Amino acid sequence: MNIKSLLIGAAASALLAGALSAGELTVVSWGGAYTKSQVEAYQKPWMAKTGNTILSEDYNGGLSEVKSQVEAGNVTWDIVDVELSDAVRGCDEGLLEPIDPAILPPAPDGTPALKDFIPGAISDCAVANIVWSTIYAYDTTKFATGPTTMADFFDLKKFPGKRGMRKGPKANLEMALAADGVAAKDIYPLLMTPEGVDRAFAKLDTIKDSVVWWEAGAQPPQLLADGEVAMTTAYNGRIFNAVAAENQPFKIVWDGQIFDFDLWVIPKGAPNKDLAMDFLAFSTATKQLAAQASYISYGPARLSSSALVGNYITKPSLAMGPEMPTAPANFKTALQNDSAFWADNQDQLNERFNAWLAQ
Amino acid sequence: MSDISVPLVAADGTPLRKKLAQAMFKSRMRAFGLVLPLLAFIIVAFIIPIISLLWQGVHDPRFASLMPRTTEVLKPGDGKSEPTEKMFKALVADLVATKKDRTIGQVATRVNRELAGARSLFTSSARKAKKLEAPFKQSLIGVNKKWARLDVWQGMKTSSRVFTPGYLAKALDFKLLADGSIVREDKSRRIYVMLLLRTMKISLIVTLSTLVLGYPIAYLLSTLSVRTSNLLLILVLLPFWTSLLVRTTAWIAMLQAQGVMNDLFVLFGLTSDGERFSLIYNQTGTLIAMTHILLPFMILPLYSVMKTIPPSYVRAAKSMGATNATAFRRVYFPQSIPGIGAGAILVFILAIGYYITPALVGGQDGQMISNLIDFHMRKSLNWNFAAALGLVLLVIVMFLFWIYDRVIGIDNMKLG
User: What's the CA gap between A254 and A234, in Å, rounded?
Assistant: 11
Whether B116 and A347 lie within 8 Å, measured CB to CB: yes
Whether A89 and B367 lie within 8 Å, measured CB to CB: no
Q: How far is CA A92 from the centre of its chain?
A: 20
Identify all chain A residues contacting B184, using CB atoms and an 8 Å cutoff: none
Closest residue on chain B to A357 (Cα): B364
Q: Between residues 298 and 317 of chain A, which touch chain B (CB distance below 8 Å)? A: none
Identify all chain A residues contacting B257, using CB atoms and an 8 Å cutoff: 162, 226-228
pLDDT tens sequence for chain A (359 residues): 454 554 454 444 444 444 444 579 999 999 888 899 999 999 999 999 999 999 999 998 888 899 989 988 999 999 999 998 889 888 888 899 999 999 999 999 888 999 999 888 998 899 999 999 999 999 999 998 999 999 999 999 999 999 999 999 999 999 999 999 999 999 999 999 999 999 999 999 999 989 999 988 888 999 999 888 999 999 999 999 899 888 999 999 999 999 999 999 999 999 999 999 999 999 999 999 999 998 989 999 998 888 888 888 888 888 888 888 888 888 888 899 988 888 888 888 988 998 898 87
Task: Answer yes or no: are the C-beta atoms of A310 and A297 closer than 8 Å.
Answer: no
Identify all chain A residues contacting B109, using CB atoms and an 8 Å cutoff: 89, 92-93
A357 lies within 8 A of chain B by CB: yes
User: What's the CA gap between B328 and B103, in Å, rounded?
Assistant: 69
Identify all chain A residues contacting B191, using CB atoms and an 8 Å cutoff: 351, 354-355, 358-359
- E-assigned strands of B162-296? 174-176, 182-184
User: What's the CA gap between A341 and A193, in Å, rounded?
Assistant: 12
Closest residue on chain B to A349 (Cα): B116
Cα pseudo-dihedral A308, A309, A311, A312, rounded to 10: 140
A212 lies within 8 A of chain B by CB: yes
Q: What number of C-beta contacts closer than 8 Å exist between A and B?
A: 90
* CB nearest B113 (choices: A94, A226, A347): A347
Identify all chain A residues contacting B194, using CB atoms and an 8 Å cutoff: 358-359
DSSP secondary structure string, A280-329?
A: HHHHTSHHHHHHHTTTS--EESBHHHHTT--B-SSSTTSBSGGGSTTSHH
User: What's the CA gap between A358 and B1, in Å, rounded?
Assistant: 80
A343 lies within 8 A of chain B by CB: yes
In chain B, % helix, strand, coil (3-state, to 5) comes to 75, 0, 25
Identify all chain A residues contacting B386, using CB atoms and an 8 Å cutoff: none
Instruction: Give the pLDDT confidence score for residue A277 in this predicted structure.
Output: 96
A344 lies within 8 A of chain B by CB: yes
| CA-wise closest residue to A212 among A175, A160, A163 | A163
A67 lies within 8 A of chain B by CB: yes
User: What's the CA gap between A98 and A91, in Å, rounded?
Assistant: 8
CA angle, residues A139, A206, B170, in degrees to nearest 5 = 115
User: What's the CA gap between B128 and B142, in Å, rounded?
Assistant: 11
Looking at the DSSP assignment, which residues form a beta bridge with residue B410? none
3-state secondary structure of A82: strand
- A-interface mutation test, from B52, B101, B107, B119, most A Cβ less than 10 A away: B119
A93 lies within 8 A of chain B by CB: yes
Identify all chain B residues contacting A215, using CB atoms and an 8 Å cutoff: 359
Calculate how close chain B gets to A90, using CA atoms only, in Å.
Answer: 8
Determine phi and psi for A26, rounding to 5 degrees: -95, 115
* CB nearest B116 (choices: A93, A208, A348): A348
* Strand bridging mode A211-214 / A299-300: unpaired
Task: Answer yes or no: are the C-beta atoms of B229 and B221 closer than 8 Å.
Answer: yes
Determine phi and psi for B352, rounding to 5 degrees: -65, -30
Instruction: Give the pLDDT confidence score for residue A12 in this predicted structure.
Output: 47
Calculate how close chain A gets to B194, using CA atoms only, in Å.
Answer: 8
Identify all chain A residues contacting B377, using CB atoms and an 8 Å cutoff: 64
* CB nearest A228 (choices: B190, B258, B382): B258
Task: Answer yes or no: are the C-beta atoms of B274 and B187 closer than 8 Å.
Answer: no
Whether A226 and B106 lie within 8 Å, measured CB to CB: no
Complex ipTM over 0.85: no
* CB nearest A345 (choices: B116, B189, B378): B116
Closest residue on chain A to B171 (Cα): A351
Instruction: Give the pLDDT confidence score for residue A127 in this predicted structure.
Output: 96
- Chain B residues at the A interface, defined by Cβ less than 8 Å, are 102-106, 108-109, 112-113, 116-120, 123, 188-191, 194-195, 198, 256-258, 281, 359, 363-365, 367, 372, 375, 377-382
Task: Answer yes or no: are the C-beta atoms of B170 and A348 closer than 8 Å.
Answer: no
| b/e A83-107 (16+ beta carbons within 10 angstroms → b) | bbbbbbbbbbbbbbbebeeeebeeb
- Can you give the pTM of this predicted structure? 0.81
User: How far is residue A84 from each of residues A104, A264, A337, B309, measured CA to CA in Å?
Assistant: 19, 10, 9, 64
Calculate how close chain B gets to A328, using CA atoms only, in Å.
Answer: 33
A142 lies within 8 A of chain B by CB: no
Report H helices in B130-225.
136-143, 150-159, 166-171, 192-223
| CA-wise closest residue to A344 among B271, B123, B248 | B123
Instruction: Give the pLDDT confidence score for residue B76 in this predicted structure.
Output: 82
pLDDT beneath 50: ranges in chain B: 1-2
Instruction: Give the pLDDT confidence score for residue B416 in this predicted structure.
Output: 54
Whether A94 and B363 lie within 8 Å, measured CB to CB: no
User: What's the CA gap between A58 and A62, in Å, rounded?
Assistant: 12
Whether A340 and B258 lie within 8 Å, measured CB to CB: no
3-state secondary structure of B248: helix
Identify all chain B residues contacting A352, using CB atoms and an 8 Å cutoff: 188-189
pLDDT tens profile A43-99: 999 999 999 999 999 998 888 899 989 988 999 999 999 998 889 888 888 899 999
Looking at the DSSP assignment, which residues form a beta bridge with residue A214? A166
* CB nearest B116 (choices: A91, A93, A344): A344
Which of left, alpha, beta for A23 (phi over 0: left; psi -120 to 50: alpha)?
Answer: left
User: How far is residue A85 from each of residues A62, A94, A174, A269, measured CA to CA in Å?
Assistant: 9, 14, 16, 21
Ranges for all domains in chain B classified under CATH 1.10.3720.10 = 192-412
Domains and CATH numbers, chain A: 22-131+261-328 (3.40.190.10), 134-259+331-358 (3.40.190.10)
Calculate how close chain B gets to A63, using CA atoms only, in Å.
Answer: 7
Cα pseudo-dihedral A316, A321, A322, A327, rounded to 10: 170
Instruction: Give the pLDDT confidence score for residue B412 in this predicted structure.
Output: 66
Identify all chain B residues contacting A354, using CB atoms and an 8 Å cutoff: 191, 372, 375
The angle that helices B48-55 and B383-407 make with each other, rounded to 10 degrees, is: 120
User: What's the CA gap between B218 and B223, in Å, rounded?
Assistant: 9
User: What's the CA gap between A327 and B251, in Å, rounded?
Assistant: 41
Whether B281 and A343 lie within 8 Å, measured CB to CB: no
Q: By CB neighbour count within 10 A (0-12 exposed, 13-18 middle, 19+ buried), where does A322 fall?
A: exposed
Say which residues have a Cβ less than 8 Å from residue B208's Cβ, sequence separation at least 6.
Answer: none
Instruction: Count other Cβ atoms within 10 Å, centred on residue B175.
Output: 16
Cis peptide before B135 (omega within 30 of 0): yes
- E-assigned strands of chain A? 24-29, 53-58, 79-83, 122-123, 126-139, 163-166, 211-214, 231-235, 250-265, 299-300, 335-336
CATH topology of domain B192-412: MetI-like fold (1.10.3720)
pLDDT tens profile A117-150: 988 899 889 999 999 999 999 999 999 899 999 9
